[in-house]
Amino acid sequence: MGDEVQVKDLPSRTNTANRPSIRDRPAFYAAELGGWRDYVTLLHPPYTLWHLSYVVLGVALAPTVRYDRLGATLLAFFLAVGIAAHALDELSGRPLRTHIPDAILRILAALGLAGAVAVGVAGVLLTSLWLIPFIAFGVFILPAYNLEWFRGRFHTDLWFALAWGVFPFFTAYWASAEEVRLSGLFGALAVLALSLTQRTLSNRVRSLRRRARSVQGTVVYADGSNQTLDKAFLLRPDEQALLFLSTAMVALSVGALVARA
């Protein structure tokens, strides 16, 4: 779900002199390139946890808490978002610059989506046919967003917020409650705003990390002191805010669920 940028001349796996610094990596959470570290980076750990926290929050705000359905919904969205969506995203332009072969990324995407659908079908058989529209939407929006179908019409900030924020929240809420109340509507509105906030911050971060070649400028303060503008200075507040927000959402959703126990 990142920014699709064509990357050339990838750093060598073995030459330590060519290893990018933390500042030059494609994401603040990206590990050094190569081996198993590429697969950890592929998961976008803080963002995956953030989006999964919406699943937990959806169940916590539902009038009825069903922990078995929470577990199933978490698994489905981990497979769909954490694995399949991120594999497709990396396949399209290599925004994370990993060395994972294209064939492996395709397999991960297919298995992740198939696994999520299988969990959904099991939910239909055990609970309600009303889960079918949720499954259908997930099967459509995952490739539509990440592969930019229909000329990128579904690859916008609003669709990001709806697909990776409101959708996991509302799916979990409905799966547990099997009805819609005001708590679900207000929760969905909050998740929409949080997801748009995430996108607003991450858009500039991705642009600076993956597109900017250099940053030049100086801030002159009222007391006469100067601050040189560089990439690190511009990245730090947005990336810290993203990390704090992801941590806060995980803690808030778990706390809300514990309060229902």
Residues 6+ apart with CB under 8 A from 71: none
Domain boundaries, the chain: 16-260
- Which pLDDT tens digit goes with each residue over 107-122? 999 999 999 999 999 9
- Which pLDDT tens digit goes with each residue over 33-57? 889 999 999 999 999 999 999 999 9
Distance CA 59, CA 183 (A): 11
Give the closest residue to 119 by CA, choosing from 134, 108, 97: 134
Q: For position 213, what pLDDT does the model report?
A: 85
Token couple for 260: 């229902």
Query: How many other C-beta atoms can be found within 10 angstroms of the C-beta atom of residue 11?
Result: 18
Interval 64-82 mean pLDDT: 97
Distance CA 105, CA 184 (A): 35
Q: Residue 220 belongs to what H/E stretch?
A: strand 218-220
Which ranges in 81-101 belong to alpha helices (H)? 86-91
Which pTM was predicted?
Answer: 0.89
Query: How many other C-beta atoms can be found within 10 angstroms of the C-beta atom of residue 232?
Result: 13
Q: For position 70, what pLDDT does the model report?
A: 97
Q: Whose structure tokens read 């600076």?
A: 208
Q: 3-class SS at 218? A: strand
To the nearest 5 percent, what fractions of the chain are helix, strand and coil? 70, 0, 30
Q: For position 214, what pLDDT does the model report?
A: 86
Token couple for 162: 């709806």
Q: Which residue has the higher pLDDT, 12 or 47?
A: 47
- Which pLDDT tens digit goes with each residue over 167-216? 999 999 999 999 999 999 999 999 999 999 999 999 999 999 988 888 88
